[in-house]
């Protein structure tokens, strides 16, 4: 057995109740093992971790790092790639560009540089699954997976209209299996299809989707229920209606009520927590209060934040109408891509400016969420990379959460309307190191249903990050001392030492051939490709981990 | 994740029809059911009998030729790599890795593709997968192209014929081209030199701008009523699709993309390229995710750079700024260069004057892999026949391995 001994660090492993306890961590053949019974046992390698903080490697549960949308964004912004420093080729690493949408290899290297070991792309169109898996194979070091978009899928909406939940589950399990997906994503349910038909966006939960005679309320509740019944490891991952629209907090709360007790993950909730009215920008403000109260009181709900940072970035979403809205506001270049039977896509460059009242509100609203959630186990750190900003900004966000003085300093530079009205001023909370470990690893792993991630208990993946304690938290979390992936030292003092391939995490289901035949009949009606070319072959997926649903067993390949 | 057996992808034009049932008879002759005439030619185009590999014109084994190729490439100061479009995505991934490792220049495209890439990078695109056109488009515009000739099954499969789930009325097909064989409800005889003026006029009508009738007619070569009618058909579409070719100049493509974008203030409209034979879309995609740009990448500084007109293989050859040329996959292009030339792929060893030639199995007939359609949808290729040659993917993987090994030894 290949062994690594991480000796004497301050272990912060909230899932196992360790909060800065001096302890040893042992890894054998890639997984955490119990300390050997023989006190004289010498590991193949020992890291003297005395003085260092030892945490599970980071887990990003909501980002956009692969597939046709991300790649279109790269192609759209050569000016950014040219201005960026770029990533140099070395004996170990491939070269690449380092814009707000880094190249695939650089994405893996940068996550590792940040002490992260896992990232989940939150929005892949099933028809784009093959592309996403290709890019995943060129995204090294991290384990990764994607959520398949289903909220505007024709067969999903047809099954819901026909009030046939059995058919819905059969279709979903077939689709998850055929695409090698890790979970179910719902984006603006029904709204994207309605917009694609030229009828504009949907603004309420009970409008009908033309041609399908279902409502957003039905789509989200039926899908949430089906996800629970299928026993998927991760709940339905919801990006609701009216993203970015002033006053959208009301429909956000209504959506959470509509879910009615089913597990649901509310994605980038910052973008859904606005007060005011669309016609009066002066009325724009925070409505975090009622939303966070609701989430605090309902344990079936989890959130990630989608924090924005000031600066240039590239917005990208499966919410086609949001792309069109942003393009109207920014007047900048715009990619929109309708994907047959499934979804839309919008990409628009955007700059968040601290002098802009709306942007300043967005910044404050994100932080308000972190600081007002009672239970850190139900909130995950995200910038919705690259929508709110790059994942490289996580250390900045951590610093803001751990230091109210820093928040006050930034607030002082923001427009008066925000400075005087935001609830941030009255939130003295400062995150502890353990709480940071929860929202950046333990909680996202638990919310994703990844039992081997986000903790250092026996059997967990041997993914460990060591940090040098530092009063400057941005520096501390920007420069991990070591990153260990499955027992191998990948990062040592800021230098990459090894580049493992990383694995693709996906679900697997058996599907009844009769069911597949009936799906095929429906498929041919509107598809432009032959049904036999839709599914992704196992050999098209890189080294994989099948994540089990309730009642299934885990398989590694 | 099973794939039900049976259909093949034709790479004969940009349609990438994937419904071809290929029957193989006892003599190994392929009968591609559903294929159009150019498609039948693509399937029937057998590789000429050829050698496994050559070194300086003499017969060799693939292994010895790979060794030699690696030595030449590692010794080169400025290797140039081209011919990505004939490769599968799997092989393209190794090709870009090879260019990166060597610090060379790699290119996928001819100059006219750069025009489209630049227009895209300037304004973006409002586009769709082809099934959206099939399902929704009640107005289809073929701008400057003649799909009946170049993409014979395009109309049948995607754009004009199929019954769409969301179509509430018959489709209107508009062809904008001076000499066209494509059947249409309306044909506007737009001369290539008037294309930009036509696009500008359509955009002006869309914005209710005041137009001088006589000047419009002179500039566009169309009657004022005809172009107004055209604009009105597009504006009243419930979902429109405008197809364009890759031979438009950058300004026209940009204007077309802006026209379609602006139409979305009134209705839904999308722009989609007609696409080209082979796997150009795959090449652009792989180059972009690995190196950040869709074509013409120079890795010599250790970081990828791309500047149109400077970092393309054509430009480097013209300026004699390359000392080895590696041509990948099937390519009829002539480069007219005296520098040592290597060729790896299907029909590669038939090229004359090669320092190294290594024959590869033919993608989609003899080798599996995947390719991208013009709308970005990726399709799997399967091997229908066995080949006595190795796949381009495995040759490039081995070449990369040898290069990395040699570099380490020389370090």
Residues of B in contact with A67 (CB under 8 A): none
- Chain B residue closest in CA terms to A181: B1
Report percent pLDDT > 90 for chain A. Answer: 95
Burial of A112 (0-12, 13-18, 19+ CB in 10 A): buried
Mean pLDDT for A251-261 is: 95
Interface of A with B in 329-348 (CB under 8 A): 333-341, 347
Q: CB contact, 8 Å: A529 with chain B?
A: yes
Distances (CA, A) of A257 to A239, A250, A251, A261: 15, 11, 10, 8
Question: What's the DSSP call for residue A234?
Answer: S
The whole-angstrom separation of Cα B404 and Cα B398 is 10
Chain A nearest C-alpha distance from B370 (Å): 9
Residue A216 · residue A126 · CB < 8 Å? no
Whether residue A277 is predicted with pLDDT greater than 50 in this model: the reply is yes
Residues of B in contact with A137 (CB under 8 A): 93
* Tens digit of pLDDT at every position of chain B (411 positions): 333 347 999 999 999 999 999 988 887 788 899 999 999 999 987 666 789 999 999 999 999 999 999 999 999 999 999 999 999 999 999 999 999 999 999 998 666 688 899 999 999 999 999 999 999 999 999 999 999 999 999 999 999 988 888 998 999 999 999 999 999 999 999 999 999 999 999 999 999 999 999 999 999 999 999 999 999 999 999 999 999 998 898 999 999 999 999 999 999 999 999 999 999 999 999 999 999 999 999 999 999 999 978 999 999 999 999 999 999 998 888 888 899 999 999 999 989 999 999 999 999 999 999 999 999 999 999 999 889 999 999 999 999 999 999 999 998
- Chain A residue closest in CA terms to B119: A76
Residues of B in contact with A71 (CB under 8 A): 285, 288-289
Q: Which residues contact A426 (CB under 8 A, 6 or more apart)?
A: none
Which residue matches tokens 């990379």?
A: A385
Which residue matches tokens 């490792």?
A: B101
Terminal-to-terminal C-alpha distance of chain A? 19
How many other β-carbons are positioned within 10 Å of the β-carbon of residue A328? 12
The whole-angstrom separation of Cα B188 and Cα B223 is 10
Q: Do B165 and A538 touch (CB under 8 A)?
A: no
Q: Which residues contact B58 (CB under 8 A, 6 or more apart)?
A: none
A429: helix, strand or coil: coil
The whole-angstrom separation of Cα A67 and Cα A124 is 7
User: What's the pLDDT at B2?
Assistant: 31
Domain-by-domain residue ranges, chain A?
55-496
Give me the residues paired with residue A555 across strands.
A546
Chain B nearest C-alpha distance from A345 (Å): 9
Helices (H), B1-129: 37-44, 62-75, 89-102, 111-123
Torsion sign (Cα): A367, A373, A374, A377: negative
Among candidates A66, A94, A335 on the partner chain, residue whose Cβ is nearest the Cβ of B97: A94
Torsion sign (Cα): B47, B51, B52, B54: negative
A511: helix, strand or coil: coil
- Chain B residue closest in CA terms to A85: B303
Burial of A543 (0-12, 13-18, 19+ CB in 10 A): middle
Q: Do A526 and B3 touch (CB under 8 A)?
A: no
Q: Do A197 and B165 touch (CB under 8 A)?
A: no
Among candidates A95, A130, A532 on the partner chain, residue whose Cβ is nearest the Cβ of B304: A95
Residue A462, both tokens: 């041997």
The whole-angstrom separation of Cα B394 and Cα B396 is 5
Task: Spell out where A387-511 has E strands.
Answer: 464-467, 482-485, 488-492, 495-496, 504-506
Condensed to tens digits (0 to 9), the pLDDT of residues A379-401 reads 999 999 999 999 999 999 999 99
CB contacts < 8 A, A to B, total: 209
Torsion sign (Cα): A467, A468, A469, A474: negative
E strand or H helix that includes residue A328: helix A320-330
Q: Do B136 and A135 touch (CB under 8 A)?
A: no
Query: DSSP 3-state helix, strand, coil percentages of chain B (rounded to 5)?
Result: 40, 20, 40
Question: What's the DSSP call for residue A50?
Answer: T
Residue A83, both tokens: 């201005």
One CATH from 2.30.30, 3.30.160, 3.20.20, 3.30.310 for A55-496: 3.20.20
How many other β-carbons are positioned within 10 Å of the β-carbon of residue A557? 11
Phi, psi (degrees; rounded to nearest 5) at A219: -60, -50
Mean pLDDT for A138-162 is: 98
Q: Which residues contact A476 (CB under 8 A, 6 or more apart)?
A: A395, A467, A468, A469, A470
Residues of A in contact with B21 (CB under 8 A): none
pTM equals 0.97
Which residue matches tokens 């081997």?
A: A452
User: What's the pLDDT at B27?
Assistant: 77
Q: CB contact, 8 Å: A50 with chain B?
A: no
User: What's the pLDDT at B309?
Assistant: 82
Task: Report residue A407 CA to chain centroid gap.
Answer: 24
Which residue matches tokens 């994942």?
A: A391
The whole-angstrom separation of Cα A330 and Cα A95 is 32
Chain A nearest C-alpha distance from B336 (Å): 31
Q: Which residues contact A506 (CB under 8 A, 6 or more apart)?
A: A145, A180, A181, A182, A541, A544, A545, A546, A547
Interface of A with B in 472-511 (CB under 8 A): 508
Distances (CA, A) of A362 to A69, A269, A379: 24, 11, 17
Among candidates B1, B97, B306 on the partner chain, residue whose Cβ is nearest the Cβ of A78: B306
Residue A190 · residue A251 · CB < 8 Å? no
Whether residue A556 is predicted with pLDDT greater than 70 in this model: the reply is no
The average confidence (pLDDT) of chain A is: 96
Question: What's the DSSP call for residue B390?
Answer: B
Q: Do B304 and A339 touch (CB under 8 A)?
A: no
Instruction: Check whether the bond before A386 is cis (ω within 30° of 0).
Output: yes
Q: Do B288 and A91 touch (CB under 8 A)?
A: no
Question: What's the DSSP call for residue A236?
Answer: E
Q: Give ∠ CA A119-A120-A124 in degrees, rounded to 5.
A: 145
User: What's the pLDDT at A554?
Assistant: 60
Question: What's the DSSP call for residue B305?
Answer: B
Among candidates A198, A341, A537 on the partner chain, residue whose Cβ is nearest the Cβ of B238: A198
User: What's the pLDDT at A553?
Assistant: 66
Residue A209, both tokens: 């989707």
Q: Give ∠ CA A173-A316-A197 in degrees, rounded to 5.
A: 70
Q: Do B305 and A82 touch (CB under 8 A)?
A: yes
Residues of B in contact with A211 (CB under 8 A): 165-166
Angle between helices B392-410 and B89-102 (to 10 degrees): 20
Nearest CA to A105 out of A496, A528, A485 is that of: A496
Which of B129, B151, B271, B410 is best to mutate for the A interface (most A CBs within 10 A)? B129
Residue A482: pLDDT band with limits 50, 70, 90: very high
The whole-angstrom separation of Cα B290 and Cα B313 is 18
Among candidates A97, A530, A540 on the partner chain, residue whose Cβ is nearest the Cβ of B304: A97
User: What's the pLDDT at A551?
Assistant: 77
Q: CB contact, 8 Å: A182 with chain B?
A: no
Q: Do B292 and A197 touch (CB under 8 A)?
A: no
User: What's the pLDDT at A67?
Assistant: 98
Whether residue A140 is predicted with pLDDT greater than 80 in this model: the reply is yes
What is the 3-class SS of B112-162, one letter each residue?
A: HHHHHHHHHHHHEEEEECHHHHHHHCCEEEEECCCHHHHCCCHHHHHHCCC
DSSP B330-387: S--------S-EEEEETTGGGSTT-SEEEEBPPBTTTB-EEEE-TTS-EEEE---S--
Residues of A in contact with B124 (CB under 8 A): 76, 333-336, 347
Among candidates A81, A533, A540 on the partner chain, residue whose Cβ is nearest the Cβ of B292: A81
The whole-angstrom separation of Cα B189 and Cα B290 is 42
Among candidates B101, B134, B291 on the partner chain, residue whose Cβ is nearest the Cβ of A526: B134
Give me the residues paired with residue B188 across strands.
B176
The whole-angstrom separation of Cα A425 and Cα A422 is 7
Q: Do A71 and B288 touch (CB under 8 A)?
A: yes
Condensed to tens digits (0 to 9), the pLDDT of residues A428-459 reads 999 999 999 999 999 999 999 999 999 999 99
Residue B261 · residue A334 · CB < 8 Å? yes
Residue A313 · residue A350 · CB < 8 Å? yes
Which of A69, A86, A94, A95 is best to mutate for the B interface (most B CBs within 10 A)? A95
Q: CB contact, 8 Å: A80 with chain B?
A: no
Condensed to tens digits (0 to 9), the pLDDT of residues A189-204 reads 999 999 999 999 999 9
Q: Give ∠ CA B394-B5-B16 in degrees, rounded to 5.
A: 65
Chain B nearest C-alpha distance from A543 (Å): 15
């Amino acid at each position: 057995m290949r062994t690594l001994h991480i000796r004497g660090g301050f272990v912060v492993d909230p899932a196992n109740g360790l909060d800065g306890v001096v302890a040893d961590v042992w890894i054998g053949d890639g997984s955490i093992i119990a300390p050997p019974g023989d006190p004289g046992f010498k590991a193949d390698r020992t890291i003297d971790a005395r003085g260092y903080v030892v945490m599970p490697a980071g887990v990003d549960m909501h980002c956009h790092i692969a597939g046709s949308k991300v790649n279109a964004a790269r192609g759209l912004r050569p000016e950014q790639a040219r201005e960026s420093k770029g990533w140099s080729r070395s004996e170990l690493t491939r070269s690449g560009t380092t814009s707000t949408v880094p190249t695939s290899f650089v994405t893996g290297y940068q996550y590792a540089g940040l002490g992260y070991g896992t990232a989940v792309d939150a929005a892949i169109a099933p028809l784009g699954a093959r592309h996403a898996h290709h890019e995943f194979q060129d995204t090294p070091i991290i384990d990764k997976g994607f959520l398949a978009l289903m909220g505007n899928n024709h067969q999903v909406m047809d099954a819901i209209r026909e009030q046939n939940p059995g058919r819905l589950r059969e279709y979903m399990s077939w689709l998850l299996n055929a695409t090698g997906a890790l979970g179910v994503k719902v984006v603006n349910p029904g709204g994207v299809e309605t917009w694609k038909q030229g009828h504009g966006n949907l603004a309420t939960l009970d409008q009908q989707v033309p041609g399908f005679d279902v409502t957003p309320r039905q789509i989200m509740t039926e899908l949430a229920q089906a996800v629970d019944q299928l026993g998927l490891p991760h709940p339905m991952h919801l990006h609701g209606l009216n993203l970015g629209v002033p006053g959208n907090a009301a429909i956000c709360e209504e959506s959470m009520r509509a879910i009615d007790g089913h597990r649901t993950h509310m994605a980038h909730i910052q973008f859904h927590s606005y007060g005011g009215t669309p016609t009066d920008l002066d009325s724009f403000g925070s409505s975090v209060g009622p939303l966070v109260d609701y989430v605090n009181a309902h344990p079936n709900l989890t959130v990630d934040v989608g924090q924005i940072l000031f600066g240039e970035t590239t917005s990208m979403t499966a919410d086609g109408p949001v792309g069109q809205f942003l393009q109207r506001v920014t007047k900048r270049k715009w990619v929109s891509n309708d994907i047959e039977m499934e979804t839309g896509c919008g990409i628009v460059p955007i700059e968040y400016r601290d002098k802009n009242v709306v942007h300043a509100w967005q910044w404050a609203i994100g932080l308000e969420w972190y600081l007002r959630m009672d239970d850190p186990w139900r909130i995950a750190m995200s910038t919705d990379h690259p929508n709110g900003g790059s994942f490289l900004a996580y250390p900045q966000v951590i610093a803001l959460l751990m230091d109210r003085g820093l928040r006050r300093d930034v607030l002082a530079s923001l427009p008066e309307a925000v400075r005087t009205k935001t609830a941030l001023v009255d939130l003295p909370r400062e995150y502890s190191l353990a709480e940071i470990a929860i929202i950046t690893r333990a909680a996202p792993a638990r919310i994703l249903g990844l039992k081997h991630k986000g903790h250092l208990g026996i059997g967990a993946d041997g993914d460990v990050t060591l940090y040098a304690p530092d009063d400057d938290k941005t520096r501390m979390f920007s420069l991990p001392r070591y990153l260990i992936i499955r027992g191998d030292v990948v990062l040592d003092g800021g230098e990459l030492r090894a580049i493992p391939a990383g694995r693709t995490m996906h679900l697997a289901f058996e599907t009844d051939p009769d069911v597949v035949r009936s799906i095929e009949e429906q498929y041919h009606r509107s598809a432009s490709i032959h049904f036999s070319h839709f599914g992704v072959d196992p050999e098209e997926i890189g080294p994989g981990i099948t994540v089990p649903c309730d009642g299934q067993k885990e398989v590694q390949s | 994740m099973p794939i039900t057996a049976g259909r093949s992808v034709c790479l004969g034009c940009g349609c990438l029809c994937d419904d071809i049932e290929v029957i193989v008879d006892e003599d190994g002759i392929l009968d591609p059911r559903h294929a159009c005439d150019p498609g039948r030619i693509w399937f029937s185009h057998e590789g000429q009998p050829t050698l496994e590999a050559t070194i300086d014109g003499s017969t060799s084994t693939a292994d010895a030729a790979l060794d030699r190729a690696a030595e030449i490439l590692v010794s080169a100061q400025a290797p140039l790599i081209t011919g990505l479009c004939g490769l599968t995505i799997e092989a393209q991934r190794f090709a870009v890795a090879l260019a990166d490792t060597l610090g060379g220049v790699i290119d996928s495209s001819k100059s006219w593709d750069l025009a489209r890439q630049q227009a895209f990078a300037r304004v973006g695109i409002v586009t769709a997968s082809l099934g959206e056109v099939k399902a929704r488009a009640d107005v289809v515009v073929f701008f400057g192209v003649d799909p009946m000739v170049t993409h014979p099954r395009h109309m049948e499969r995607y754009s004009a014929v199929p019954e769409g789930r969301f179509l509430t009325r018959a489709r209107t097909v508009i062809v904008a081209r001076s000499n066209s064989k494509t059947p249409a409800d309306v044909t506007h005889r737009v001369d290539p030199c008037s294309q930009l003026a036509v696009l500008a006029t359509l955009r002006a009508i869309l914005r209710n701008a005041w137009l001088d009738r006589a000047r419009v007619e002179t500039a566009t070569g169309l009657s004022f009523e005809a172009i107004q009618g055209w604009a009105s058909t597009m504006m009243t579409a419930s979902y429109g699709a405008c197809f364009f070719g890759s031979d438009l100049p950058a300004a026209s493509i940009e204007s077309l993309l802006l026209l379609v974008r602006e139409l979305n203030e009134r209705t839904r409209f999308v722009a989609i390229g007609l696409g080209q034979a082979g796997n150009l879309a795959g090449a652009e995609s792989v180059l972009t995710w690995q190196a950040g740009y869709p074509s013409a990448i120079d890795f010599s500084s250790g970081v990828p750079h791309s500047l149109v007109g400077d970092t393309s293989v054509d430009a480097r050859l013209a300026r004699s700024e390359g000392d080895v040329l590696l041509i990948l996959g099937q390519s009829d292009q002539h480069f007219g260069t005296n520098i040592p030339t290597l060729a790896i792929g299907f029909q590669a060893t038939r090229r004359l004057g090669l320092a190294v030639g290594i024959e590869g199995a033919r993608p989609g007939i003899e080798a599996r892999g995947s390719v991208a359609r013009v709308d970005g949808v990726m399709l799997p290729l399967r091997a229908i026949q066995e080949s006595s040659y190795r796949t381009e993917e495995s040759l490039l993987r081995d070449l990369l391995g040898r290069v990395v090994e040699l570099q380490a030894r020389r370090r």
